Amino acid sequence: MHRYVMKRLILIIPILLGVSFIVFFITALTPGDPATLILGTGAELEAIDALNRELGYDKPFFIRYARYIYDLVVNQDMGRSYRSQMPVSEIVLRRAPTSVLIAFNGMLCACIIGIPLGVLSAVKQYSATDTMSTTTAMFFAAVPSFWLGMMLMYIFSLKLGWLPSNGVDSWRHYILPMFAIGLPFAAHQLRFTRSTMLESVRQDYIRTARAKGASEHTVIWKHALKNALLPVITITGINFGGLLGGAMITETVYSIPGLGMLLVSSIKMKDVPVVMGTTLFLAVFFCLIMLAVDLMYAFVDPRIKAKYTR
Amino acid sequence: MSRQGTKLKKQNRLKELWRRYRKNPAAMIGLAFVLILIACVLFGDVIAPYKTATGQNIRARLQGPSAAHFFGTDEFGRDVFARVVHGARASLALGVMTTLVALSVGGVLGAVAGYFGGRIDDIIMRLMDVLTSIPSLLLSLAIVSALGAGIRNLIIAITISRVPAFVRIVRSAVLSIVDQEFIEAAKAGGTSDTRIIVRHVIPNAVGPIIVQATMSISMLILQAAGLSFLGMGVQPPRPEWGAMLNDAREFMRVAPHLMIFPGMAIVLSALSFNLMGDGLRDALDPKLKS
């Protein structure tokens, strides 16, 4: 098991190199130079040139990239923001917990609503419950989370005044974003759980479980769900990536000072070090989630656990 | 088989597909709405003149829905109904174009990876791994910011972020086919690889790919709307649903209709492509129907 985890952790390195290269390349295509950004367009040309040289911006692309990676690996330095001159790592780490918390809440909301309802509508296929939950899911799967966020804000903050509309001062601020991000994903989760469960309940071992007299509850929640869970876990992990993306826009709707707002504003202002830092953080986070997903397989499925320990 | 025979067989297959698709009411509703969307694109000016969608009329600003303005007016007095109708063009173009381009690029890469396997497969798939570990919205955001906002650059950006998904879909569809006997037979008969891929592998893999492509249109409509919402997509005064929603934020309290109608348009178009995809899947493979 340890060896497998180590191997997977090492495999993250080439992925991060790839991600950093792609983003570095894209940002290098962007017109403009850092010194003009820092000093402003009104600054003297000599000063701009001097600062660009100091930042290494006069060097060719590959040398700049190599230097970035060298600083990152050897000095653990992600550079400083062009705008605020603060260390990038500090900016990113300060904002990351909010974003992670929001994405995690959304995921939790999606799983708590989506998985049980998916199981229920598979077990009671063609019933009123099934029709209702699949129809609702169909609708929510087509709803963009930022629009849902706006509608929720309109109804629950502006009209009813039950919940605050923006910021992150208390736990109540997290409720609306949680549903705005979570509900569309709950819909995906429901549809997916339903279809894998439908396959699972038709298997021979379910008939065997019923034949040996296990209660319906045990048959569905222990035998059928446990076997259907593997693909559900995979899709949950993959969705988490999309959820982080969706959270970026929803953060804008609710003015939440997280990575999403940071990234959007940094991209608009061409603050390359911050863009790089945020992207790398998100990529590491995503890779770790995918690793966690694979490790969760082992807990759900003893056959896979056996494969890992070999 | 003669060429005419093959043609006849294809026609029959399409007829059979349509017969099964027709039986599904949800899928028909989806199809009907997609046709309405296409009508909005083709006959937008007949339904509501483009001038009312972009022409400003300050005296009529922020009015609620009425007989004169079905969906009300926005902060510049522009007719929201006309803007929603003309916004269909941008959304549909983005959804369909990006899907088609991503499908062609991803399809070729996926077919090559799945068919040849080995090192080529490894290289392509690891590259895709890298692309997928950047959240797709972030990737397209970065690309748009490098290329500059605008509808063409948005198409490029969304396409690149969507290619990996199609590579995977096509590859797995191809993988399930290459081991079958008729491929082996074709190889043994000395058919070239390209011909096998084009004539034997792709036609047999096309069902699930069409279904995924239809679903992808709805996903990309949502993504494009999201990017425009952030101000990275279609530029004003051209109407686009995501950008309209962003403008609506300021007037949420006084003019909620500004966010309700464009939002419903996004939801309905994404929903109808999903319904169509579901219907196609069931019609293509009745066994899968759940």
- Whether residues B142 and A26 touch (CB distance < 8 A) is answered with yes
Which positions ≥6 away from A49 have C-beta within 8 Å?
A35
| Mutation for B interface: A24, A127, A150, most B CBs within 10 A | A150
Helix (H) or strand (E) holding B177: helix B151-178
Please give the Cα distance from B53 to B236 (Å, whole number). 11
Residues in B touching A252 (Cβ below 8 Å)? 229-230
DSSP at B66:
-
Instruction: Give the nearest chain B residue to A27 (CA atoms).
Output: B146
**Does pLDDT of A106 surpass 80?**
yes
State pLDDT tens for residues A200-246: 878 888 888 888 888 888 888 888 887 777 778 877 877 777 777 67
At A113, the pLDDT band (50, 70, 90 cuts) reads very high
Report the alpha-carbon distance of residue B201 to residue B111 in Å, rounded.
8
Nearest to B290 among A195, A252, A275 (CB): A195
Q: For residue A124, give how far its alpha carbon lies from the nearest alpha carbon of chain B (Å).
A: 12
Q: Do A245 and B138 touch (CB under 8 A)?
A: yes
Q: Alpha-carbon distance B290 to B283, whole Å?
A: 12
- Give the closest residue to A193 by CA, choosing from A92, A282, A123, A276: A123
Chain B residues lying within 8 Å of A248, measured CB to CB: 135, 137-138, 141
SS3 at position B244: helix
pLDDT(B227) > 60? yes
A5-31 residue pLDDT tens: 888 788 788 888 888 888 888 878 777
DSSP at A223: I
| Cβ–Cβ contact A37 with B under 8 A | no
- Nearest CB neighbour to B229, from listed A142, A242, A249: A249
Pick the closest to residue B114 from B197, B188, B189 (CA basis): B197
**Amino acid, res. A197:** M
Report the range of poorest mean pLDDT among A59-73, A146-160, B56-70: B56-70
- CB of A292 within 8 Å of a chain B CB? The answer is no
Report percent pLDDT > 90 for chain A.
1
* CA–CA distance, B86 with B68 (Å, rounded to integer): 18
- Nearest-angstrom CA–CA distance, A248 and B68: 38
3-state secondary structure A121-171: HHHCCCCHHHHHHHHHHHHHHCCCHHHHHHHHHHHHHHHCCCCCCCCCCCH
A279, A287 Cβ separation under 8 angstroms: no
- Interchain pair B134, A279: CB under 8 A: yes
Alpha-carbon span B41 to B269, nearest angstrom: 13
Measured between beta carbons, the chain B residues lying within 8 angstroms of A245 are 135-138
For residue B286, what pLDDT band results from cuts at 50, 70 and 90? low
Give the whole-number percent of chain B exceeding pLDDT 90.
3
What the block records as the tokens of B8 is 């006849």
The reply to whether residue B133 touches residue A15, judged by beta carbons under 8 angstroms, is yes
CA distance A169 to A11: 39
The string of pLDDT tens digits covering residues A248-273 is 888 888 888 888 888 888 877 778 88
pLDDT surpassing 60 at residue A310: no
Question: For B229-275, how does the pLDDT look when each residue is reduced to its tens digit (9 = 90+)?
Answer: 888 777 777 788 888 888 888 887 777 888 888 889 999 999 998 88
Chain A, chain B: beta-carbon pairs less than 8 Å apart: 130
Residue with tokens 């909620």: B256
Any idea how long chain B is?
290
**Tokens, residue B242:** 């995501």
Q: How far apart are CA B246 and CA B226, in angstroms?
A: 9
Which percentage of chain A shows pLDDT scores above 70? 97
Mean pLDDT for all residues in chain A: 82
Residue of B137, B169, B241 for testing the chain A interface, max A β-carbons within 10 Å: B137
Q: How far apart are CA A228 and CA A3, in angstroms?
A: 28
Q: Does the distance separating the beta carbons of A142 and B138 come in below 8 Å?
A: no
Disruptive mutation site among B24, B37, B141, B260 for chain A (greatest number of A CBs within 10 Å): B141
The Cα A257–Cα A251 span in angstroms is: 7
CA distances from A202 to A120, A122, A166, A228, A301 (A): 15, 11, 47, 11, 19
For the segment B193-217, the average pLDDT, to the nearest whole number, is 81
The 10s digit of each residue's pLDDT in A283-309 is 888 888 878 877 777 777 777 677 666
B136, B245, B274 ranked by CB distance to A147: nearest:
B245
Report how far residue B41's alpha carbon sits from residue B64's, in angstroms, rounded to the nearest whole number: 25
Q: Which two tokens stand for residue A184?
A: 């569309």
pLDDT given for residue A309 in this prediction: 64
pTM exceeding 0.80: yes
Q: Residue B147: its chain A contacts at CB < 8 A?
A: 29
For residue B269, give how far its alpha carbon lies from the nearest alpha carbon of chain A (Å). Answer: 8
pLDDT at residue B172 tops 50: yes
Query: Which of B128, B139, B141, B134 is closest to B170 using CA atoms?
Result: B128
Residue whose entry in the numeric block shows the structure tokens 């770790």: A288
How much is the average pLDDT of A30-55? 77
DSSP state of B73: B
Chain B residues near residue A253 by CB distance under 8 angstroms? 249
pLDDT in the model for residue B3: 65
Q: Mean pLDDT across the stretch B60-88?
A: 75
Q: What is the pLDDT of residue B267?
A: 92
Rounded Cα gap, residues B140 and A196, in angstroms: 31
B196, B202, B205, B207 alpha-carbon torsion, rounded to 10°: -150
Residue A54, CA distances (Å) to A49, A74, A87, A272, B47 in order: 9, 20, 17, 16, 59
* Partner A, chain B 141-170, Cβ-Cβ below 8 Å: 141-143, 145-147
Residue position matching structure tokens 């009312």: B52
Hey, how many other C-beta atoms are within 10 angstroms of the C-beta on B180? 12
- The full length of chain A comes to 310
Q: Chain B residue with minimal CA distance to A269?
A: B145
| Torsion region of B73: left, alpha or beta (phi above 0 gives left; psi -120 to 50 gives alpha) | beta
pLDDT number for residue B290: 42
Task: Tell me what pLDDT residue B289 has.
Answer: 47
Separation of alpha carbons B289 and A178, rounded Å: 33
Q: Which tokens go with A83?
A: 């705008």
Q: Which residue of A has its CA nearest to B219?
A: A142
What is the rounded average pLDDT for all residues in chain B? Answer: 81
